[in-house]
Structure 1
Amino acid sequence: MLSSQSQATDRASLRRSNDSAGRCHYTFTVASPEESSCPGGSVKPEMDGVMSRVILLEALVSQLLAGADGGTRTRVESNTEEGLQEAYAQVTRERNQLQQEKERLNKQLQEQQRRLGELSQEAESLRQKPCKQTHTSGGAQHDSRPASDPANDFKNGAYQEMKAEVTKVQASHLNTDENQTITDCGELLSVGDPVLHRKADSITGKYGVWLQDPEPLGPHYTKKTVWRIDAVGKDVRQLFAFEDMDQFSRGFPMKVLVLPEPVESTGATIYRGSLYYQRKRSRSLIRYNLTSESLASRLELPHAGFHGQYPYSWGGYTDIDLAVDEQGLWAIYSTSKAKGAVVIAQLDPESLAVKQSWETNIRKNTVGNAFMVCGRLYTVASYTAPNTTINYVFDTATGTQRAVAVPFKNKYRYTSMLDFNHGQRKLYAWDNFHMVTYDIRVGRANQGSS
């Protein structure tokens, strides 16, 4: 009995320890005298529980880390989006500012164009006021005076009576029938300063044609009607019609005609209700009836160079230049036979057939432009020099030519078109976007004064 108790004492133990709450616990442990181990007893379940808690903890930590990283990316993306929105807003503000500035400049341009039109109209009105008549030993002679001159006093009855008589005498020298045998013709003595009527407002107006019909036919269009073609472009077909010079200066066409064939360069002209022009890339001449708005005649100009073979010195495919004066319709061009010298042909205004031609000694590519007055060809030495001269004259009546030196001004430094209008007694020119006219003075035949 004592032996058994002694063995049990050896196997029993008392242990004292604090729990997690700090309270003291006494644990008395006695080993089993019969079982060396407890069935199913193991520390594995406890270890499994610890491992499960560790795995769960790691998963939570991973989720937290992933959430922190996603937040960083979200913040970066948010910052990037905010930057783009701010940049777009800045660009929008700048675009709106530019649009406002454009509108302001357009308003200024329109105002300047309006003022220019008013000034041009006023200048034209002043220029057309009656001029004073000066007395010489040979009688009364026509002489221009400023609009402020006392001779323009309409209350002066004696002056008005004299003016009426002078006007009547001048009218007797003009044509009295449709065949128009001109007697008041002579050699060009002087060309006045250019008077501006309109400035083109786009690149298509760099050069072109603008004219008035010196002898209009029919009720649709009159001598006041102004015609314009902007000649810059690959397919030039538009012909603008303006009611009068005032509407032309303001830029308000009353009609736009579409031509059946494209126009080549600036050699077109208007005469007796028809537009005459050279078809693009050909030597074909076309007569376009302005009233019926249809092609009336077409004919090739025999042997004429075209599309850059024999242009004026400024180029522009000005190989064939059509012109009108008191004696009718003319073509100014050259041929291979003439070797680049100017050839003048008088054309039938109905059929466009050549009635007669003359070959000159003037090299076409050495002159800036040319025009006809009273059956005489006049050439301009330069198309760009501000102060140049009309340097040659060829008289078709005698078949002779000679050098002259009549001062001429290219005010805007690029005269691409120059034509005479015998109805207005003016030269019409297109000078670097600017449409201008020149007054001229012509000496009467066999006389030394105009």
Structure 2
Amino acid sequence: MWLHLSLLHLSCLILCGQSQASDAAGRCRYTFTVAGPVESSCTGGSDKAAVDGMLSRLTLLESLVSRLMAGADGGMASAHEGGLQEAYSQVTRERNQLQQEKERLNGQIQDLQRRLGELSREAEQIGQAPCLQTHTSAGGEHEARPASDPPYSPGSEAYQEMKAELTEVSASHLLPEANHSFTGCGELLSVGEPVSHRKADSITGKYGAWMRDPEPQGAHYTNRTVWRIDAVGKDVRQLFAYEDMDQFSRGFPTKVLVLPEPVESTGAAVYRGSLYYQRKSSRTLIRYDLATERVAARADLPHAGFHGQYPYSWGGYTDIDLAADERGLWAIHSTSRAKGAIVVSQLDPESLEVRRSWETNIRKRTVANAFMVCGRLYTLASYAAPNTTINHVYDTATGTRRPASVPFKNRYRYNSMLDYNHAQRKLYAWDNFHMVTYDVTVRSSR
């Protein structure tokens, strides 16, 4: 705008320079002289020269105005373009900063969602842990059992929504009679594929012990009865009884016994009508009569380590592991004298006194688990490797040890319990919430 006014003023000055006078306000005042009839017929050289000069000056003025206008427009456009470029650069920088902040916040949201999911699963597992409820039996006695695992009652709708994961198992795996054709005693030759019978439905079942009595006594329980202990917890006392393998797979216990003293780890065994187990945080062994539901005997295992002194490689306070085979009842443990090497002690099944002990040179912490077959100790190399081996055998008859290489599979990669049932010729295992069995082949030799 100021440029246009300047040009107008300049034009005015130029034009005023050709006029006869100007007023006091600076405005141009033109005086025109009209030629008379005689004068108009004459060609005056001075007037023509004045007109030509004015036209020349007007032409110069127009050229000057054009140049000025072009320069002003270019300068304004250049200035305007520079301002836009700077504003665009600033907006771009802010946009990039906002994008980085958005990505950072999205990462935090994903991390919080992941942690929330983990906490929700832990809360659900804790909420599913069985709580004891007291039920009154027909005889008026109070019997404790977990609310999440009640006894089977035909027709109850609650059993239509069981949470346990089941695996279909052929009749040959369910019936102990299918393996009764095995006779004699000998060396372990092979271990079959793992067969899953049940998966625990709460965190208390991550590891535990389950078994069947190879030599049941009395009429209260048979060789079909299945026993189970969930070993996760500060005060493990519940012993679940199932009528047979079918009811066990369905998750329907017939009874829940509450032990008078808590259990340590997964080393319990059922043999000749009694449950044998290690009392928590001690080297005391307890024989619990299943028919009378009373402690029938107790004894300390001399010099045995306990509560994490000499466990298996997976831990779990597995210092004392009780086992039964064709030769009787055994304790697999270690002592300070043996300096962590496995000691095998044969026990009197009635009094729990030690009849004889064998000190091996197998370090207990270097093996994942162990079991007895025909008076021989067999050790498992790994509790987590999916394909591992039974890597050592110690024969109590000869007092000798030799390496072995019998293939073994940890299907669920956390095997915390391994025991042999000589009546069925099967291994019972607890593998990362899953209760599984293995058929074994034993070569008859003695």
Same fold by TM (over 0.5)? yes
- 2:186 counterpart SS class: coil
Unaligned runs of 5+ in 1: 1-97, 131-143, 145-166, 175-183
Matched to 1:424, the amino acid is Q
- 2:444 counterpart SS class: coil
Using the TM superposition, give the Cα deviation of residue 345 of structure 1 relative to its aligned residue in structure 2, in angstroms: 0.2
Give CA deviations for 1:344-398 in whole Å, capped at 9, x if unaligned: 0000000000000000000000000000000000000001100000000000000
Using the TM superposition, give the Cα deviation of residue 263 of structure 1 relative to its aligned residue in structure 2, in angstroms: 0.2
Partner in structure 2 of residue 210 of structure 1 = 210
Cα separation, 1, equivalents of 2:331 and 2:427: 17
Any residues of structure 2 matched to 1:26-425 within 5 Å, and which?
117=166, 119-120=167-168, 123-125=169-171, 127=173, 174=183, 184-425=184-425
Give CA deviations for 1:277-317 in whole Å, capped at 9, x if unaligned: 00000000000000000000000000000000000000000
Give CA deviations for 1:265-286 in whole Å, capped at 9, x if unaligned: 0000000000000000000000
Q: Is the 8 A contact 2:174 2:245 kept in 1?
A: no
Any residues of structure 2 matched to 1:14-29 within 5 Å, and which?
none
Cα separation, 1, equivalents of 2:335 and 2:250: 41
| Runs of 4+ that moved beyond 3 A | 109-114, 126-130
Matched to 1:327, the amino acid is R
Cα separation, 1, equivalents of 2:201 and 2:190: 31
Using the TM superposition, give the Cα deviation of residue 128 of structure 1 relative to its aligned residue in structure 2, in angstroms: 6.8
- With over 3 angstroms needed to count, the CA separation of the structure-2 counterparts of 1:127 and 1:347, relative to structure 1, is closer
- With over 3 angstroms needed to count, the CA separation of the structure-2 counterparts of 1:129 and 1:436, relative to structure 1, is closer
Matched to 1:314, the amino acid is W
Cα separation, 1, equivalents of 2:357 and 2:175: 41
What TM-score, normalized by structure 1, do the two folds share?
0.62
Using the TM superposition, give the Cα deviation of residue 124 of structure 1 relative to its aligned residue in structure 2, in angstroms: 2.8
Cα separation, 2, equivalents of 1:336 and 1:272: 31
- 1:362 counterpart SS class: strand
- 2:170 counterpart SS class: helix
Partner in structure 1 of residue 72 of structure 2 = none
Q: Is the 8 A contact 1:113 1:250 kept in 2?
A: no
Q: Is the 8 A contact 2:163 2:201 kept in 1?
A: no
Give CA deviations for 1:120-148 in whole Å, capped at 9, x if unaligned: 2xx23155799xxxxxxxxxxxxx9xxxx
- 1:443 counterpart SS class: strand
Cα separation, 1, equivalents of 2:385 and 2:175: 31
Matched to 1:384, the amino acid is A
Unaligned runs of 5+ in 2: 1-119, 125-147, 149-156
RMSD value, Cα: 2.5
- 1:253 counterpart SS class: coil
Cα separation, 1, equivalents of 2:296 and 2:175: 39
Using the TM superposition, give the Cα deviation of residue 402 of structure 1 relative to its aligned residue in structure 2, in angstroms: 0.2
Using the TM superposition, give the Cα deviation of residue 423 of structure 1 relative to its aligned residue in structure 2, in angstroms: 1.1
Using the TM superposition, give the Cα deviation of residue 430 of structure 1 relative to its aligned residue in structure 2, in angstroms: 0.2
Q: Is the 8 A contact 1:276 1:322 kept in 2?
A: yes
- The percent identity for this pair of structures is 73
